[in-house]
């Protein structure tokens, strides 16, 4: 189990990292069919001054490149070298999925649905168990970076559970363009952190198998604001000024395609639309069908399906709702 002793020496995976030192430790607990080891690099930066331990992760889903890019930039810009305390970066948790550009582990399981894992379970479950037992215990604060799945592009957002005042406090400091009230998924990394009393921010932005500079910028700047709050950001860095306060979204709904066909999106993700605003067109390949998609209510578009082809019933837009609209929609469901 990871620990920090009375001399402020960090021990993780059997390695000891004293104050003021850097280390890259390989988390190695499985092999490919060829018996080749699969190693997950853990990049540790420690200040001589005592302080919090911040754990920053990405790539729980192997095809979510944008999260990996956020953590990569933190490392290459040396933002992860703290003025006090310790920063632990794991750019790619699911190296298996990253190698194959797939969301899941080789056993077909979603790593983010098997936490806290099992010592004798599936490969994904065993990995989660080792991570929770050997790495997570030392963390005081966690940030985890994700993207939208499939072709769904997420506006940059922090997701927190309703009623979590401490998470809301940190979400305001991170100050992503949007803060979304979102239920915690059972057996997710976020749920495990919460059960262990560790504050965690889940960032979503962009889509899988894609790297977006604007989304990465939002992620990096949010981390800088958090580190500055903990007095861990070195003085050489200017704390990025947010363009405005994060927009809190408590209620939202998915719009679904009424027809199968080619989807032509007309508005950018993150835009505030008015009720009845023309936001997309669905056509057929033969020039016979042309259906205008209009916003059912005023709200922010926080996710856009960027797939060029959709089937009837596919989710195409995620739009925020007022409390009144949400209650009306729930009553009519």
Task: Note the pLDDT of residue 104.
Answer: 94
| End position of a domain, from candidates 229, 264, 287 | 229
- Lowest-confidence segment of 26-30, 49-53, 195-199, 246-250 by average pLDDT: 26-30
Cα separation, 193 vs 160, whole angstroms: 12
User: Looking at the structure, do residues 263 and 206 belong to the same domain, yes or no?
Assistant: no
Task: Note the pLDDT of residue 172.
Answer: 97
In a domain, 54, yes or no: yes
Confidence check: pLDDT of 118 > 70:
yes
Look-up of token digits 């050489």? 236
> Residue 6 has which token pair?
């009375």
In a domain, 307, yes or no: yes
State the sign of the Cα–Cα–Cα–Cα dihedral 172, 176, 181, 183. negative
Task: Note the pLDDT of residue 243.
Answer: 80
Q: Which residues constitute the domain of residue 188?
A: 3-229
pLDDT more than 70, % of the chain = 99
User: Looking at the structure, do residues 223 and 313 belong to the same domain, yes or no?
Assistant: no
Query: How many domains does the chain contain in total?
Result: 2
Average pLDDT, the chain: 95
More confident residue, 329 or 200: 200
In a domain, 235, yes or no: no
Confidence check: pLDDT of 6 > 90:
no
User: Looking at the structure, do residues 175 and 324 belong to the same domain, yes or no?
Assistant: no
In a domain, 240, yes or no: no
User: Looking at the structure, do residues 215 and 272 belong to the same domain, yes or no?
Assistant: no
User: Looking at the structure, do residues 183 and 69 belong to the same domain, yes or no?
Assistant: yes
In a domain, 154, yes or no: yes
User: Looking at the structure, do residues 56 and 203 belong to the same domain, yes or no?
Assistant: yes
333 pLDDT tier (thresholds 50, 70, 90)? low
- In CATH, what number is assigned to the domain containing residue 163? 3.40.630.10
Confidence check: pLDDT of 332 > 80:
no
User: Looking at the structure, do residues 92 and 202 belong to the same domain, yes or no?
Assistant: yes
199 pLDDT tier (thresholds 50, 70, 90)? very high
3-state DSSP call for residue 325?
A: helix
In a domain, 278, yes or no: yes
What are 210-231's pLDDT values in tens digits?
999 999 999 999 999 999 999 9
In a domain, 242, yes or no: no
User: Residue 319's closest CA among 120, 178, 172?
Assistant: 178
DSSP string covering 206-237:
EETT---HHHHHHHHHHHHHHHHHTT-S-TTS
User: Looking at the structure, do residues 49 and 155 belong to the same domain, yes or no?
Assistant: yes
Confidence check: pLDDT of 150 > 90:
no
Confidence check: pLDDT of 318 > 80:
yes
In a domain, 236, yes or no: no
3-state DSSP call for residue 169?
A: helix
Asked if residue 97 lies in contact with residue 61, where contact means CB atoms within 8 angstroms, the answer is yes
Confidence check: pLDDT of 72 > 70:
yes
What are 15-34's pLDDT values in tens digits?
999 999 999 999 987 777 77
> Residue 149 has which token pair?
């799945």
User: Looking at the structure, do residues 220 and 295 belong to the same domain, yes or no?
Assistant: no
| End position of a domain, from candidates 195, 229, 263 | 229
Look-up of token digits 């932005």? 205
Q: Count CB atoms within 10 A of the CB of residue 288.
A: 8
Task: Note the pLDDT of residue 305.
Answer: 98
User: Looking at the structure, do residues 134 and 205 belong to the same domain, yes or no?
Assistant: yes
| End position of a domain, from candidates 229, 259, 278 | 229
DSSP string covering 27-82:
EEEEE-TTS-EEEEEEEEEE-SS---EEEEEE-SSTT-HHHHHHHHHHHHTTTTS-
- In CATH, what number is assigned to the domain containing residue 269? 2.40.50.100
User: Looking at the structure, do residues 128 and 56 belong to the same domain, yes or no?
Assistant: yes
């Amino acid at each position: 189990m990871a620990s920090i002793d009375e001399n402020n020496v960090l021990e993780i995976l059997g390695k000891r990292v004293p104050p003021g030192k850097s280390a890259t430790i390989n988390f190695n607990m499985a092999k490919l069919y060829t018996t080749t080891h699969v190693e997950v690099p853990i990049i540790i930066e420690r200040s001589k001054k005592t302080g919090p331990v911040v754990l920053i992760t990405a790539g729980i889903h192997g095809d979510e490149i944008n999260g990996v890019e956020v953590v990569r930039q933190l490392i290459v810009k040396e933002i992860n070298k703290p003025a006090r305390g310790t920063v632990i970066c794991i750019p790619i948790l699911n190296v298996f999925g990253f190698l194959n550009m797939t969301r899941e582990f080789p056993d077909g399981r979603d790593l983010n649905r098997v936490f806290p894992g099992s010592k004798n379970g599936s490969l994904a479950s065993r990995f989660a168990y080792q991570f929770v037992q050997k790495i997570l215990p030392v963390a005081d604060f966690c940030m985890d970076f994700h993207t939208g799945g499939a072709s769904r592009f997420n506006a940059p957002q922090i997701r927190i559970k309703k009623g979590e005042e401490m998470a809301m406090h940190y979400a305001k400091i991170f100050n992503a363009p949007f803060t979304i009230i979102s239920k915690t998924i059972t057996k997710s990394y976020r749920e495990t952190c919460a059960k262990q009393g560790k504050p965690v921010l889940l960032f979503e932005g962009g889509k899988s198998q894609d790297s977006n500079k604007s989304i990465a910028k939002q992620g990096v700047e949010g981390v800088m604001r958090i580190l500055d709050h903990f007095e861990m950001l070195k003085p050489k860095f200017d704390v990025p000024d947010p363009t405005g306060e994060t927009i809190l979204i408590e209620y939202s709904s998915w719009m679904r395609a009424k027809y199968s066909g080619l989807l032509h999106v007309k508005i950018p993700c993150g835009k505030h639309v008015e009720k009845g605003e023309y936001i997309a067109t669905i056509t057929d390949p033969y020039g016979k069908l042309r259906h205008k998609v209009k916003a059912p209510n005023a709200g922010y578009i926080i996710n856009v399906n960027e797939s060029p082809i959709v089937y009837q019933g596919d989710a195409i837009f995620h739009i925020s709702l007022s409390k009144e609209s949400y209650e009306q929609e729930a009553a009519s469901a």
